[in-house]
């Protein structure tokens, strides 16, 4: 019988812990969220983040900019937010419009306020095992595995997807925990044979029900980071959940698995950013 990994439950416990720590911090914690354009998915994510911040006690500042906002205008806003002492964290919602250089925007964020963990400095710290903040979805995967006491050390972890947001940071985190890691992507040959060797299979490719039953090893742990719509418009993951679940020892559902963890880790990262800047201000 497989174990259903309940991301909602774990996320609520993390948010409660963050809420209690903020109460004892002795200062207001503020997150600035910047959204450019009218991407409907981005609006949903931002609203979920705002609700979580309100419930936890984090002040949320929202900057909604039109689609035709220039790169210079966006960079100027980030500069101002970097200089506001009361702003502890800055999040620029991705994707950005095509005329804006995403890498340049991310690098403009003060690494101490980079609650997404995407800047080159924070990425480097992650790979060196010296991080305070890691990308929200990636560290959320580790939190789920830890909560359910799933052994990582010595296990073969196969990650399908190599994005800077999920695939690469998850690989760094799993390596740090002494897992043997294989990262697969669109150019990987014989994917079927590789995924079948995974003790822990993590998918983040954005293709509905891409991982089928015959691609999963008996007794594997399956973490599905994908959020897609199936042919009926229903939310689903990268994994064919109904046909795969009874072949696993543990599996995340979609929705209700990794999704809630991303928001929970965002508020935790915001708290960590605030604490780090408090320490720096006393030096």
d(CA 162, CA 122): 18
Mean predicted confidence (pLDDT) in 42-65: 91
What are the domain boundaries of the chain?
26-110, 136-259
User: What value does the mean pLDDT of the chain take?
Assistant: 95
Task: Kindly indicate the confidence band of residue 283, based on its pLDDT and cuts at 50, 70 and 90.
Answer: low
Mean predicted confidence (pLDDT) in 163-168: 96
**Can you give the length of the chain in residues?**
283
> If we measure between CA atoms, which residue out of 267, 270, 272, 279 comes closest to residue 51?
267
pLDDT value for 46: 86
Mean predicted confidence (pLDDT) in 65-73: 97
- pLDDT, tens digit, for every residue of 222-257? 999 999 998 888 999 999 999 999 999 999 999 999
- pLDDT, tens digit, for every residue of 176-235? 999 999 999 999 999 999 999 999 999 999 999 999 999 999 999 999 999 999 888 899
**Active site residues per annotation:** 49, 93, 116
Task: Kindly indicate the confidence band of residue 39, based on its pLDDT and cuts at 50, 70 and 90.
Answer: confident
d(CA 130, CA 27): 26
Assigned architecture for domain 136-259 = 3-Layer(aba) Sandwich (3.40)
Mean predicted confidence (pLDDT) in 4-26: 96
Does pLDDT of 173 surpass 80? Answer: yes
The yes-or-no answer to whether 26-110 and 136-259 have a common fold is yes
Alpha helices in the chain (DSSP H): 7-23, 40-56, 71-83, 102-108, 120-128, 136-147, 167-176, 191-195, 241-244, 259-281
Residue 113, SS3 per DSSP: helix
How many helices and strands (H and E) does the chain possess?
10, 11
Q: Is 26-110 in CATH node 3.40.50.10860? A: yes
Among the residue ranges 16-25, 33-42, 84-93, the one predicted with the least confidence is: 33-42
Task: Kindly indicate the confidence band of residue 152, based on its pLDDT and cuts at 50, 70 and 90.
Answer: very high
Phi-psi sector, 233: left (phi>0), alpha (psi -120 to 50), beta: left
pLDDT value for 281: 64
The interaxial angle of helices 40-56 and 259-281, nearest 10 deg, is 60
pLDDT value for 282: 60
Mean predicted confidence (pLDDT) in 66-74: 97
d(CA 23, CA 186): 46
Does pLDDT of 162 surpass 90? Answer: yes
d(CA 183, CA 191): 10
The torsion angle over the Cα atoms of residues 183, 163, 173 and 24, rounded to 10 degrees, is -160
Token representation of residue 266: 């965002």
Cα–chain center distance at 138: 5
d(CA 92, CA 103): 11
d(CA 200, CA 61): 38
d(CA 90, CA 27): 17
Percentage of residues in the chain having pLDDT higher than 90: 90
pLDDT value for 17: 97
């Amino acid at each position: 019988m497989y174990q259903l990994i309940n991301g909602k439950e774990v996320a609520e416990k993390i948010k409660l812990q963050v809420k209690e720590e903020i109460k004892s911090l002795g200062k207001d914690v503020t997150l600035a969220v910047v959204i450019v354009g009218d991407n409907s998915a981005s609006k949903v994510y931002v609203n979920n983040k705002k609700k979580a911040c309100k419930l936890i006690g984090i002040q949320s500042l929202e900057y909604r900019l039109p689609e035709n906002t220039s790169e210079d205008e966006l960079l100027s806003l980030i500069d101002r937010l970097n200089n506001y002492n009361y702003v502890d964290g800055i999040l620029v919602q991705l994707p950005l419009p095509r005329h804006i250089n995403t890498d340049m925007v991310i690098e403009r964020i003060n690494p101490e306020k980079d609650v997404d963990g995407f800047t080159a400095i924070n990425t480097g710290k992650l790979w060196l095992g010296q991080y305070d903040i890691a990308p929200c979805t990636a560290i959320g995967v580790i939190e789920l595995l830890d909560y359910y006491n799933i052994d990582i050390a010595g296990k073969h972890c196969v990650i399908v997807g190599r994005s800077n947001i999920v695939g690469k940071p998850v690989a760094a985190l799993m390596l740090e925990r002494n897992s043997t890691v294989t990262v697969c992507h669109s150019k990987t040959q014989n994917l079927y044979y590789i995924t079948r060797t995974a003790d822990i299979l993590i998918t983040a490719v954005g293709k509905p029900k891409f991982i089928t039953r015959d691609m999963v090893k008996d007794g594997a742990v399956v973490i599905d980071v994908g959020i897609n719509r199936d042919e009926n418009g229903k939310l689903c993951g990268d994994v064919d959940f109904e046909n795969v679940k009874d072949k696993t020892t543990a599996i995340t559902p979609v929705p209700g698995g990794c999704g809630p963890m991303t928001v929970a880790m965002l508020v935790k990262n915001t708290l960590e950013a605030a604490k780090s800047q408090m320490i720096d201000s006393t030096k």
